[in-house]
Structure 1
Amino acid sequence: LHKRKADIRNDFLHQVSTLLVKNHDVIVIEDLKVSNMSKSAKGTLANPGKNVKAKAGLNRSILNEAWHKFFTYLEYKLKLKGGILIKVNPKHTSQTCIKCGHISKDNRKEQERFKCVKCGYEANADHNAAQNILRRAGLARITCQANLIRGRQQEPAEAYNSSSIVV
């Protein structure tokens, strides 16, 4: 049963990574340290961990989804195609306001909502984080350069808001 489950997971990861690589020349991801994210929360006898069961469940979910394997598939398939995989530092991507640049834990009090405490900007938290990731990657400039090579002129603002970008 475990082998069958692993085969199904690998098949799915290959299908999704192939689809993304087939439709996009540039893919930007957070450079997540999956091994650090899935470390045990048990602690020591002198300093026991908190929420150990919840953390164990989260670790199991992270490892079951095989994020690292998916990133590896994306990387090697993009190399074969001649595409680009950009990894950006994930630090504060979900706490930074895309409008004013203010960084605060208070900007993200809820899991799915982002509200800047400085300028009042509100958005879906994942969408705001994805825009921060794209901005860090300088994707607007890269897209403009790629379009110039293809003979299509595009301004950076248009490239940044382009519907061809998967967020």
Structure 2
Amino acid sequence: VYVEDLKVSNMSASAGGTKESPGKNVRQKSGLNRSILDQGWYSFFQMLSYKLERGGGKLIKVNPKNTSRTCPRCGLVSAENRKSQATFACIGCGYRSNADEVGAINVLRAGRAQLACAMSGAVRPLSAGTRRDPLQH
């Protein structure tokens, strides 16, 4: 099973700011933080990993960087690909889909690449959806 290795502590950091530079939307952020922490993600992933290993499976955590900004068709990584929370539209090739579906495809690919590298003994896992500039070859 492939999942994003989300940093819950970073996601639930305070928005309070300082006296000199007060935070914005502190009350809303406080509610979001409470919801994030109430989910008990750490415990969930611990139990999921345990159950998978008991059944012969494995939990693989994938770096979440750009999983929702990478086009699964052409590999272009751009913040412009994700103009709304729900919609993905690649500015390179025109591919359109639900943003969660695109994220899931990219997590699956990155997880498979990570697993393949671990099994082959490769030093560094491949980045899913990475597209290099053709002029720099």
Same fold (TM over 0.5): yes
Gaps of 5+ in 1: 1-26, 143-167
* Equivalent of residue 85 in structure 2, options 93, 108, 111: 111
Distance, in Å, in 1 between the alignment partners of 2:104 and 2:40 is 20
Distance, in Å, in 1 between the alignment partners of 2:32 and 2:80 is 23
Distance, in Å, in 1 between the alignment partners of 2:10 and 2:51 is 25
Distance, in Å, in 1 between the alignment partners of 2:24 and 2:78 is 24
More divergent stretch after superposition (67-76 vs 117-126)? 67-76
Distance, in Å, in 1 between the alignment partners of 2:79 and 2:24 is 21
Matched, 1:59 2:33: yes
Q: With structure 2 as the length reference, what TM-score do the two structures score?
A: 0.79
Q: Cα RMSD between the aligned structures?
A: 1.7
SS at match of 1:79: helix
Distance, in Å, in 2 between the alignment partners of 1:106 and 1:54 is 26
Aligned residues with identical type, % of pairs: 57
Report the structure, 1 or 2, having the larger helix content: 1
Which residue of structure 2 lines up, in the alignment, with residue 97 of structure 1? 71
Aligned length: 116
Q: With structure 1 as the length reference, what TM-score do the two structures score?
A: 0.65
* Equivalent of residue 23 in structure 2, options 26, 49, 54: 49
Stretches (4+) displaced over 3 A: none
Distance, in Å, in 2 between the alignment partners of 1:71 and 1:47 is 36
Which residue of structure 2 lines up, in the alignment, with residue 130 of structure 1? 104
Distance, in Å, in 1 between the alignment partners of 2:78 and 2:25 is 24
Gaps of 5+ in 2: 117-137
Distance, in Å, in 2 between the alignment partners of 1:113 and 1:95 is 11
